[in-house]
Every structure is written in structure tokens, then in C-alpha cells.
A and B are shown apart, each in its own frame.
Chain A
Amino acid sequence: MLEARNISLNVAGFSLLQDISLRVAPGVVTAVIGANGAGKTSLLRLLTGEQKPSGGVVTFNGSPLVDWQPEQLARMMAVLPQSSRLDFPFTAREVVMLGRTPHATGLARDAQIVDAALHAVDGGYLDKRFYTHMSGGEKQRVQLARVLAQIWEPVTEGPRILMLDEPTSAFDLAHQQLTLSIMRSLAEQGVGVLVVIHDLNLAARCADQLLVLSCGRIAASGAPSDVLTSKMIREVFHVDATIAVNPVTGTPLVIA
């Protein structure tokens, strides 16, 4: 389990994050929402160990993140950044194969996992195509397949964590839905999922737990139906919205 206790981040005299505590528990999907510049990506950087918090501590399985060997951590925790630039002509298969870098499961098993991960993101047809020739949505799907391949199987060392920073930003409706169902099925396998997402309705549909960031602080957290209120949306996003109930899924539906 990944746990942040009272973490804060100051950069060049600005306080970007203050006093944030949260847990990414196995089998739970946590969605982080908030306005632009609220500190969502900074929070992700602290949780992944990319940046050290100015105060507080992030622990994984009880030990501070800094005490983990990078390779060991990489076998359990995969991170998909907002955008990745890759200017070299790898094929989709080769990019996804890079997700197996921290593992020593052998080429045959890795090849099976790469196939399965590509198919999971509806990217089987991309297999031999060059990454540099793909559309924005195809590239994002290949990157998603790469992080899926990284945590495809349970490992004996500990629970798996997946962190995604706006994974659906370049996706059409079908692939947005696909991403949601991938996150849900990973959670069912016991993976702890943390996703930064802009679309409140997508967040409401996929998350067990919502975390609302506003100016570097947690403005609200809890189950989507408790957190998504017109009052919260007015205070955090400065937008008047009506909250209805999705007739199919029963989750909150934000109409703005």
C-alpha cells in the first residue's frame, strides 16, 4: 500500500501542496480531480518518488519511498505520465516491451504479456507499426499498454500500484470507456489505482474514492456521491452545475 502522510511541497518560495494525506490501497480506484494548477501533477510526482516532499513522508509497504531500490519499486509500481515524447522509430511492440524492463521473466513470457497488453488497449493492430507514425490517441494507447505490461502479473514482493496522469486526454469515447473498464478490472485483481482525471463524470464512474484538490489542499474526499455536490463544484471549479443520477450506473452525473 502507498501512503502519504501530511506531505507538502514548496518550490521557489511558492507553496504548491500543503498537508496532504492519502492512501492508494489494493483494489481501490482513487481519482484526483481539481482545476488546472491545483497541484494534481505535483502530487503525482511526490507519490511516485520523482520529487521529494518538502514536508511529510510517502511510504510504500511501510518503508519510505526513498529507501526502495528503483528496480524493485518498478516491479510493483507503474506510472503513466501526462505526455511522453519519443522521437525514435520503435514499433508499438518494442515500446510495450520496455514495460518489462524491470522484470526477469524471460523473453517468451514477456512476449505473451506484450501481446495481451496491446490487445487490452485495442492496439493489437498496432503491433509492428512505428510509434513515430501513429496518431495521438494511438500513441497514448501504446503508452498505456506499456504501463499495463509493467504490472501485468502479481509479484511476490508486494502489491501492485498503477498511477495514471490524465490517461484519457487524447481518447475518443470508446477508448475512454475502455480505459475505465481496464482500471476497474485491475482493481478487481487487487491493484491499487490512482488516476488524475479532468472529466468529472468519468471520475464518478470509475472511482471508489474521489480526492478534490484546490490550491494545493484537499478540498474534499470520499465516495463520489458524497463529494460531487453543486456546492463543491461552485467552490472549486467556479461553475454552477446540476447533479443528477446516472440512470444506468447509479453514479452521480454532473451537468454543467
Chain B
Amino acid sequence: MHRLPPKTFLIVSLALLVVALALGLLSGPVAIAPTRLLGLLSSGQDMDSRILQSIRLPRVLLAALAGACLASCGAVMQGLFRNPLADPSLIGVSSGASVGASFVIFFGGAGFLGGTFELTAIAVGAFVGGLLATAIVYRLASSVTGTSVSTMLLAGIAITALAGAATSLFSFFADNEMLRRISLWQMGNLDGASWNRVAIIAAVVLPMMVLLPREGRALNAILLGESEARHLGIAVESLKRRLILITALGVGVAVAVSGVVAFVGLIVPHLVRLMIGPDHRYLIPGSALLGAVLLLLADTGARTLMAPSELPTGVVTALLGAPFFVALLLQQRRKVLD
């Protein structure tokens, strides 16, 4: 396994993020010349600048923030569970959010709640559902002696199954219109982007980007084992509580504003680890940057591949990401054999 220097990787990812942001702003049903981009963003009252400022800019920012959030939470979960196959949905947050969103769609009805208010209600339902599910999983796994990560994994599987059944029940009794919206929501979609949503997710993700990398050394020690980490001076119980709370909040908000965008939280940290190694001090910011890039590119694809209609973003993340990931795995394996 050959590694890249972490700092080089972070700089390249940052450059990629800038390119992906520009690409996202320029692409869409209405083509905009790259040379006009900065001028249109800063001022102007014509149609193109309004498209940029009130439609595309919030959308690309939402995609970048949600991608950064999901990927860095994935990195944290994989470290905390000491399992490279863990992802944020393990603690039940995604499935709980699905129940919350389906609940609102089902009882909100097609005509009862309209427009922006309905989208917001769905987001709130998803957020509350996600946090509730995580709280239950956490309670189940906690005892006087601390939180058992393996019990948590099992509790997460049980709650996910239960939540899946509840969502299926809502889908079963829903009418055609509701059913369509429940399943669209579960595919993950950024089409509800607005400045309000950008503000909400930014309020959670930006502090997270400062807080999470600080736990890098402690997470590195946790990879050795919980008691090993304790003997290295890490206050393991409070670390676990803190990280689970941050992850539940982060993923809860991301799922609330964008639906269940699968794949990013699992694959991105994995990719970054293959490139720069498992040191969380670099893995977390690296995952955030690459997660933002991946979701931006996927969302740009979702908007433009079948323009003027849109594909669900979550479908595109999997379509683009999975083959890329498989190629990378094969390449790594060849290197090991050489």
C-alpha cells in the first residue's frame, strides 16, 4: 500500500472542491459562461444572476455541506466502532429519520400541508426521528459499566429493522402520491435546497469541522481497543458520548435536509484511508473535503444528466461511487500482490 503525504492530499482535495463548486454553479439547464461566474455572483439583477444566487448557489453549498457532514461522521463512526465497514446508519439515525419523514408525509397528507412548509415539516420529522432512534440505541447499549460498542451495533441493527418495518407500514397504507414521495425521499435528494436549509446545516457542520479533528489523537488510540485507549490516558466514556452526540446531530441534520444519501458516509472515509492511512487527524478533514466533492459532483450529475428533469442524488452517488470504489480496491490489491 502506497500512501500520499496527508498535507498534499488535503491541498489537492481543497482544489478539487473549488473546481467541483464552480462546475456545479455553471452546469444546469441554463448554460452560464465560466468567465461571467464571479461577476454574476457578486451583483446583477438579470435572469442569470438570479438563477445563480437563489437556485444554484444554495444547492451547491447544501451538497458540499451535506457531503462533508456525512463523510466525516462516517470516519468517526468507523473509528469509534473500530470497524472499517461501519457507517453512520449503524447507530439508527438514518432509519429513524426515514420513519420520521414517512410519518410526516403520511399524516401530513398530499393536500393538507403545502409547499415550503411541508418540506420543512418533513425535515423536522426526519431530524426528530433520527435523534430518537439514536437515543434508544444508545440507552440500550449503556449500563453502569459504560457503553458497549458491540451491544450498540446489535441494538442499532434491531432498531434499524424495527424502523424499516414502520416505514414499510406507512408505505403500505399510503396512497400513490404519498408512496412516491416517501420513496423519493429515501433515495436522497437535494431539490429542496434553499438558503434556510443552507443556514441550518452550516450551523451544525461548521462547528463540527472544528470539533471533530481535535478528537483525532483520541480516536487513533481507540483503534487499539477501548481499554488500551484508557491506559493511554483517554477518557473513553466521555469521548464516546461526545462523538455519538455530534454524529447523531450531524447526520440527523444532513438526512433532514437531503434525505437518505447512501454510500457517502461508508465509502469516502474508506477511500481516504486507502490513500493517506488511518490517522484521524488527517482522515476526518480529508473525508470532509472528499465527501463534499463527491456529493457535489453527484448532484451536478443528477441535475444535468436528464435535464430539465432530475435524478435523485442518492442514486447518482451510488452509480458514480460504487464502480470507482471497486476499481480502487482492485488496484490496491494488485499493489499488495506485487
Contacts and interface: CB of A to CB of B under 8 A. Distances in A.
A98 B224 CA distance: 9
Given A89-B1, A101-B217, A70 B225 contact: no
A130 B3 CA distance: 11
Contacts of B58: none
Interface of B: 1, 82-84, 217, 220-221, 223-225, 227-228, 230-235, 273, 277-279
B232 A88 contact: no
Nearest to A163: B231
Nearest to B232: A101
Top 8 nearest A-B pairs (CB, nearest first) are: A74-B233, A71-B233, A102-B233, A88-B278, A79-B231, A101-B232, A70-B233, A88-B223
Nearest to B82: A87
Contact of B233 (A48, A73, A130, A146): A73
A89 B234 contact: no
Contacts of B279: 90, 94
A203 interface: no
Q: Chain A, interface size: which category?
A: 20 to 34
Interface string A208-220: 0000000000000
Contacts of A249: none
Nearest to A146: B224
Interface of A: 48, 50, 69-75, 77-79, 81, 84-91, 94-95, 98-99, 101-102, 130, 146, 150
A85 B225 contact: yes
A74 B277 contact: no
A81 B232 contact: no
Contacts of B1: 89, 130
Given A74-B232, A94-B277, A98-B232, A81 B225 contact: yes
B113 to A, nearest CB: 46
Nearest to A72: B233
Contact of A50 (B217, B224, B230, B278): B230
